[in-house]
Amino acid sequence: MQNKQRITVLINIFVCLFVVIILRLAYIQIVKHKFYLQKSQDQRTQIIKLASQRGDILDCQGNLLATSIDTYSVYEYKKGWVERKLSKEEAEKLVAEKPKERSIIRERKRVYPNDGLLAQTLGFVGIDNQGLSGLELSFDKYLHGKEGQVITEGDPRGRELYGAVRELEAGEDGMDLTLTIDENIQYVAERELARQVKESQAISGTCIVMDAKNGEILALASLPGFDPNNYGQANPKLWHPRFLDPYEPGSTFKLITVAAGLAAEVITPDSKLKKLESITVGGKVIKNSHAMNFPGSSVTVSKVLEQSLNTGVAQIGLMLGQERFYNYLKKFGLGEKTNFGLWGESAGVVRHWQQWYKPDIVMMTFGQSLSVTPLQLMQAVSAFANQGVMIEPILVKKIESQDKHFVKSLSQKYGRQAVPAKIADEMKTLMRNVVLYGSGRRAAIKGFAVGGKTGTAQKAKPHGGGYLEGHYIASFIGFAPLNNPRIIALVIVDDPRGSIWGESVCGPVFSRVVEYCLRYLNAVPDML
């Protein structure tokens, strides 16, 4: 029967088709097995990042300035973060609203226990604990550590599979940063500065305290500041550490001019200079800020500093000449970064002498037509406290891994010999005279001999082209005790109202802060 034959044909066709299927299965499952297995693994492999523990920032006594705490963030499926870094109760409340879609993820949050203290120096971190400003940014490489990760298997929605194979790659915690800052000195410096800034209705103020022996910065106050715990609420302009920027130092710079004059032997401490009401250089008329209410037709070098006579230092500048004066400026490290630790430091502006305009040679003698950073000026003046050797300022003392296996100590580097030791001692006496008899009287400290210099600089217009009328930067730089200097401090108040003079605005701040430091450090009084 024909039908039966055809059924047999049908059987054969079916069996043949199944053989094709078996061959195809063999190809997929045996020949291409590794390829498909890999593809399948790749698509379900999920990497869960494990945040590393960010290193702490400590002061020189080991007090916490920045640390991290556990917080709880709420994540919603497909929508992402709902809110991050909440307390446990707050997070649980948010999850309870949509328990199926939301889950809690533990995260570390950066906190600054002292709120605004040292804010601009410390800086802050972003929501993912990445350094954004200040030390948090400059030392992010060390503080951040290395993220760990869990490699696991997930479904297309990202949820982990049941019985997923997990693989853990441990991360590395960040390192701790120990600063040279002393929390207590920082606090006093900020307190005294804040009082003065408020009293003077000034725009801002800076007060830097440095160990005169080793360059360790003990306080870096810059006001107004902000609270890095809530940096988003502050004006972003306040985030920036002001002391990184250059300013025209004004009369404090006369110290450098006199030291250069002494070192170049164009003057001696006993030299007599002409007592001039004004001096004209390159068509520019230079005058003194005060009337000279003392007798005689000449002035001593000491008197020039005590009375802060522009016409006096101008004569020294003219005696030095452009090239020689410029070389001394370079010797004092001006126009070069100090590299004390924070990113974004300015090098200041000291133009090459061949580019100077005619009056520049005298303008610079009293700190105009050039700009320096506060730390450059302190570094330069530190030479007078240390037999002519400049001390480079440092801010970070030690970088240390959590397990103490990695330690990097950063000690101070002795800078260049700016002037001979003899000149440094002569400068000490001259600075002493300023505080004893001259414009620096209000910087005096009971029991200690103080040397220093005031400054009252006209504010340069922001985009060049002369100076603002009625706006000044008052400052005072000095060190103590005189015979064995322990502390160098610089106080700057920007645009004070009422009294504008460095002596009355900055002298008292210097006096109170440095007195606190000396007593805090158990310095031996040298003027009983």
Partner 1 sequence: MRQPKTDYIFLFSIFALITIGTIMVFSASPTMGLKVGDTYFFIKRHLFYLLLGLCGLYFALRCDLELLRKWAFAIYAFSMILLLLLFVPGVGRQVLGATRWINLGLISFQPSELIKFSMIVILARLLSDLGEGIVDFLHGLLPILVLIGLTAIIVILQPDLGTAIAIVLISVILLFVAGIRLAHLGFLLGSGLLAVIALSLTSPYRLRRLTAFLDPWKDPQGSGFQIIQSLLAVGSGGWHGLGLGASRQKYFYLPQQFTDFIFAILGEELGFIGGVVVIILFIIFIVRGLKIALSQHNHFCSLLATGIVSWLALQTLMNIMVVIGLLPTTGIPLPFISYGGTSTIVNLFAVGILINISLWPGKESKAKAK
Residue 10 or 421: the one with the smaller Cβ distance to partner 1 is: 10
Cβ atoms of residues 391 and 370 within 8 Å:
no
Residue 167 or 336: the one with the smaller Cβ distance to partner 1 is: 167
Which of 80, 99, 156, 232 contacts partner 1 by CB under 8 A? 156
Tell me the number of residues near partner 1 by CB under 8 A.
37
d(CA 281, CA 369): 14
Residue 36 or 357: the one with the smaller Cβ distance to partner 1 is: 36
**166 near partner 1, rule: CB under 8 A:** no
Residue 15 or 96: the one with the smaller Cβ distance to partner 1 is: 15
Could you tell me the smallest distance in angstroms from the CB atom of residue 167 to partner 1?
A: 15
Secondary structure of 42-107 as H, E, C letters: HHHEEEEEECCCCCCEECCCCCEEEEEEEEEEEEECCCEEEEEEECHHHHHHHHHHCCCCEEEEEE
Could you tell me the smallest distance in angstroms from the CB atom of residue 48 to partner 1?
A: 17
What are the beta bridge partners of residue 445? Answer: 448
Half-sphere exposure of 355 (CA within 13 A, CB side): 6
Cβ atoms of residues 451 and 435 within 8 Å:
yes
Could you tell me the smallest distance in angstroms from the CB atom of residue 2 to partner 1?
A: 6
Instruction: Label residue 30 exposed, middle or buried (CB < 10 Å: 0-12, 13-18, 19+).
Output: exposed
Cβ atoms of residues 346 and 240 within 8 Å:
no
Cβ-proximal residues to 303 (8 Å cutoff; 6+ apart), any chain: 294, 309, 312
Could you tell me the smallest distance in angstroms from the CB atom of residue 99 to partner 1?
A: 14
**17 near partner 1, rule: CB under 8 A:** yes
Residue 43 or 130: the one with the smaller Cβ distance to partner 1 is: 43
Q: Please, what's the largest Cα pairwise distance for the chain?
A: 149
In 139-216, alpha helices (H): 140-144, 183-199
Could you tell me the smallest distance in angstroms from the CB atom of residue 164 to partner 1?
A: 9
Could you tell me the smallest distance in angstroms from the CB atom of residue 75 to partner 1?
A: 20
d(CA 46, CA 166): 10
**161 near partner 1, rule: CB under 8 A:** yes
**47 near partner 1, rule: CB under 8 A:** no
**43 near partner 1, rule: CB under 8 A:** yes
Which of 22, 96, 285, 291 contacts partner 1 by CB under 8 A? 22
Angle, helices 322-331/254-263, rounded to nearest 10 degrees = 110
d(CA 287, CA 310): 7
Cβ atoms of residues 456 and 500 within 8 Å:
yes
**524 near partner 1, rule: CB under 8 A:** no
Residue 11 or 168: the one with the smaller Cβ distance to partner 1 is: 11
**99 near partner 1, rule: CB under 8 A:** no
Which of 70, 83, 97, 155 contacts partner 1 by CB under 8 A? 155
**28 near partner 1, rule: CB under 8 A:** yes
**30 near partner 1, rule: CB under 8 A:** yes
Question: Interface with partner 1 by CB under 8 A: which residues?
Answer: 2-4, 6-8, 10-11, 14-15, 17-18, 20-22, 24-26, 28-30, 32-33, 35-37, 39-41, 43-44, 153, 155-157, 161, 163
